[in-house]
Structure 1
Amino acid sequence: MMMKYYGASHQGLRRKNNQDSLCIMENAHHALLAVVCDGIGGGNAGDVASKMAVDHMKEAFLSCKELKNDQDVKRWLEKVIQEANDMVFTQSTRDEKLKGMGTTIVGVLTQEDNTYIFNAGDSRTYGLYQDDFLCLTEDHSYVADLLKRGEVSEEEAAKHPNRNVLINALGIWNSMRIDINKIKNDWCALLVCSDGLHGYVPEHNIQYVLQSNRNVKDKVDALIKLSLDAGGYDNVSVIVIEKEDGGNE
């Protein structure tokens, strides 16, 4: 499966530093890994947590042996993400300045004709299809939980004072929940992003950019610009992956 991809991150217009980290890379087995982490914690703690998690994923991916089947992939993702969790959690208990740090993690792993997505927290993966645009991950947040139980409406959820409260993330507790799913391979493009994009830019605007005839870098730049135009309240990270043949190029 031939792909084009690009990723970028921006501090936004209101924050002193960028607590997001991302990577997108291929390894020796022609597998592709894309990860976005959005750090949590005061001072520099959030960017320490997100960088630790991304660096660990990168190293493990580059040295990873070939993953032969779905079970191998899931086992590898569970192991490596749990290791990242342990590293961040341990570091936060050892250093007073980093106490309580953590990070969301969301990403895509593709190999041959298989695509897997993984997620903890409220960063998201979206899929663009021939005739559809869908959020493929589930937010692990207090408000998403209320929504699922029917206790608030979509409109109330969008304005809820606790909409940024996470009920699951990497590095905060010694155990975490990680959603890992294999998705059908009929997507045209995948978008991996932090809530600096999806929290401020309406989904139809995101879809419009992904469907446009721009190249992947221009799409990423356009999505970041939409976040800045919406006020640039948060750090924003965006990765776009397109199939060489299935895109709209």
Structure 2
Amino acid sequence: MSEVASAWRSAARTDTGKVRARNEDAFLDLPERELWVVADGMGGHQNGALASRLIVEALAELPHERGLEQRVAQIRGCLHELNRRLGQDLTLACGQADSLMGSTVVVFLAEDDRAACIWAGDSRCYLWRSSRLYQLSRDHSLAQLLIEEQQMSAEEAARHPRAHALTRAVGACEALQLDIVELDVLPGDALLL
């Protein structure tokens, strides 16, 4: 293992927050495999907690491949399969064809001095580098869409009655679209998911 890879330290915690009474978050903290995941079940929908837990469990069970490209492909394949299962099999098994079971997800994985961030939804990944904070992920939400397509300010978009509605999530649509950002890892980098 390289010097960069052996230096990973991490901590993980989840909190119910101020909006919902139930915590639908799940996380994976595997610095020895250079893999971290946060999944946030879609609040107010059928079994959001189950969806986030299934995502984390499936990603934890993946064999540890070598090579960043292979690992990214492996994670993408796993999330696409989970999207199919959550969207069809598990939702229909609940006996309600119109119910929705889904979760946002953000994955950070590293391989030597390279890393990738993969996400769907509004779970975020931040990079702290050289005393500056960078948001690596971009929200898949109606608010973000309004900012980009309608050229609204962030304040205007936040006032929209459905601003927090997600445009992407695992289990929410038949075809899952994931965004991926790859980057070089530098000594002293810190990440927050």
The answer, yes or no, to whether TM exceeds 0.5 is yes
- 1:76 positional shift: 1.2
Any conservation in 2 of the 1:52–1:88 contact (CA below 8 Å)?
no
Any conservation in 2 of the 1:31–1:112 contact (CA below 8 Å)?
no
The 5 Å alignment of 1:48-67 reads 48-60=50-62, 64-67=63-66
Whether 2:92 is the aligned partner of 1:93: answer: yes
The amino acid of 1:86's aligned partner reads: R
Which residue of structure 1 aligns with residue 21 of structure 2?
16
2: distance between equivalents of 1:51 and 1:142?
A: 25
Q: Deviations over 1:12-42 (max 9, x none)?
A: 245221111111114xxx4311111111153
The amino acid of 1:53's aligned partner reads: I
The amino acid of 1:40's aligned partner reads: M
Query: How much is the aligned-residue C-alpha RMSD, in angstroms?
Result: 2.0
Q: Deviations over 1:23-80 (max 9, x none)?
A: 1114xxx4311111111153661101111111111111xxx14322x43122112111
- The alignment partner of 1:5 has SS state of coil
Which residue of structure 1 aligns with residue 134 of structure 2?
134
2: distance between equivalents of 1:101 and 1:109?
A: 25
TM-score scaled by length of structure 1:
0.68
2: distance between equivalents of 1:11 and 1:169?
A: 20
- The alignment partner of 2:166 has SS state of coil
% identity of equivalent residues: 28
- The alignment partner of 2:125 has SS state of strand
- The alignment partner of 1:104 has SS state of strand
Q: Deviations over 1:77-107 (max 9, x none)?
A: 2111112212222201221369211000012
Runs (4+) off by over 4 Å:
none
- From the superposition, tell whether residues 84 and 93 of structure 1 become closer, same or farther in structure 2 (CA, over 3 Å): same
2: distance between equivalents of 1:65 and 1:21?
A: 20
- From the superposition, tell whether residues 122 and 116 of structure 1 become closer, same or farther in structure 2 (CA, over 3 Å): same
The amino acid of 2:191's aligned partner reads: L
The amino acid of 1:93's aligned partner reads: L
